[in-house]
Amino acid sequence: MSRLIDGKVISAAVKERVGGEVAALKAKGIMVGLAVIIVGDDPASKIYVANKKKACEALGIISEEYALPEDTTESELLDLIGRLNNEKRINGILCQLPLPPHLDEKLIINSISPEKDVDAFHPVNVGRIMIGDYDFVPCTPAGIMEMLKYENISPEGKSCVVIGRSNIVGKPMGMLLLHKNGTVTICHSKTKNLKEICLGADILVAAVGRAKFVTADMVKEGAVVIDVGMNRVDGKLYGDVDFDAVKEKASAITPVPGGVGPMTIAMLMQNTLTAAKKQNGIA
């Protein structure tokens, strides 16, 4: 029976730390501000934005929401981002994805100042993650690394397998594990012998977007299993891991919900604080 890696507990610890630093900055007359842009009426995006706003308020971070209609033009959105890039009271800018199909997601992400890119999606920040000299990390991989640190699980010298190669989770996750001296394999839909590769993993990160994709026969006895999946099936939330079966083999495992999910917003708060400190010359 594995131990549960509780994202609610760990995210609360991160938020407490961030809140303390935000209060200390405020005492020096420095406010921390985050601008969140949402285009259209995607229900999931609205929930995410509301949760981010709630977290900001709880930690003393000023939150400005820019809710734009579905038919917002590219030039209108770029103009808003340009103004926010030059606005001193705003330290972080987040444009909620996905965007409506008529907007060029790559162009929009690239228009956010790298110094305010708290999602760490800008090519400058992606490149800095690659070379190991970074200020911001995409929030989900950052949250996973924080969980491993909290649980005293070191990737050093271990076989680390990441299933999924997205720019948001899979690729940066692999780089962060590599920077901590893990031996990393990134798997995807074209990977051959996936089961055999996963069975060699000391740390297995599932970010594939398919409910219960990782089964017990894919997991080595005593492995650490991190489930990034958020799959809604018949109104119920499932991870990418068959939790009930895999927990009997893993030494530690994250649940869904209550695992990686809470960490993502906590690390967004951390990135926003980091941006404010950098912009104010505070190490």
Cis-peptide into 98, omega within 30 deg: yes
- Tokens matching residue 238: 């499932």
- C-alpha 258/C-alpha 153 separation (Å) is 19
Cα four-point dihedral sign 247, 248, 250, 251: positive
Task: Give the helix ranges, DSSP H, for the chain.
Answer: 7-27, 43-59, 74-85, 105-111, 123-131, 139-150, 170-179, 194-199, 243-246, 260-279
| Parent domain of 96 | 29-115
CATH number, domain of 57, equals: 3.40.50.10860
Which residue in the list 15, 117, 119, 247 is annotated as catalytic?
119
Q: Are residues 152 and 194 in the same domain?
A: yes
Among the candidates 80, 115, 150, a domain finishes at 115
d(CA 138, CA 281): 22
Instruction: Indicate whether 38 belongs to any domain.
Output: yes
CB atoms within 10 A of CB 1: 8
- For residues 144 and 107, give the distance between their C-alpha atoms in angstroms, rounded to a whole number: 28
Catalytic residue status for 96: yes
Contact 251, 223 (CB under 8 A): yes
Of the residues 15, 96, 117, 212, only one is catalytic, namely 96
Query: Contacts for 132-137 with beta carbons within 8 Å, 24 or more apart?
Result: 132/179, 135/274, 135/275, 135/278, 136/271, 136/274, 136/275, 137/172, 137/176, 137/267, 137/271
Same domain (yes/no): 164, 254: yes
Does 130 reside within a domain?
A: no
**pLDDT value for 235:** 87
Task: Look at residue 126 and tell me if it is in a domain.
Answer: no
- List the single range of 14-23, 201-210, 230-239 with lowest mean pLDDT: 230-239
Q: Kindly state whether residues 110 and 147 are assigned to the same domain.
A: no
Answer whether 160's CB lies under 8 Å from 205's CB: yes
Query: CB of 108 within 8 A of CB of 267?
Result: no
**Residue 94 confidence (pLDDT) above 90:** yes
Residue 160, C-beta contacts closer than 8 angstroms, at least 6 positions apart:
174, 177, 182, 183, 184, 185, 201, 202, 203, 204, 205
| Geometric angle at alpha carbon 35, from 69 and 115, rounded to 5° | 125
- 40 with 145, same domain? no
The one catalytic residue among 15, 52, 158, 247: 52
How many whole angstroms separate alpha carbon 149 and alpha carbon 152?
A: 5
Structure tokens at 58: 């709880």
Q: Which of the four pLDDT bands, split at 50, 70 and 90, describes residue 44?
A: confident
Pairing of strands 236-238, 231-233: antiparallel
Q: Note whether residue 10 is domain-resident.
A: no
Q: Is 119 a catalytic residue?
A: yes
Q: What is the CATH number of the domain that holds 245?
A: 3.40.50.720
140-199 confidence digits (pLDDT tens): 999 999 999 999 999 999 999 999 999 999 999 999 999 999 999 999 999 999 999 999
163 and 238 fall within a common domain: yes
* Residue 283: pLDDT over 80: no
Q: Is the same domain home to 46 and 143?
A: no
237 with 145, same domain: the answer is: yes
pLDDT of residue 43: 87
- Write the pLDDT tens digit of every residue in 188-229: 999 999 999 999 999 999 999 999 999 999 999 999 999 999
Q: Is 270 a catalytic residue?
A: no
pLDDT at 196: 98
Give me the number of domains the chain comprises: 2
Residue at 193 is within a domain: yes
Same domain, 147 and 255: yes
Distance in angstroms (rounded) separating the CA atoms of residues 141 and 164: 12
Instruction: Tell me, yes or no, whether 146 and 237 share the same domain.
Output: yes
Question: Residue 42: pLDDT band by 50, 70, 90 thresholds?
Answer: confident
Per-residue pLDDT at 199: 98
- The answer to whether residues 144 and 251 belong to one domain is yes
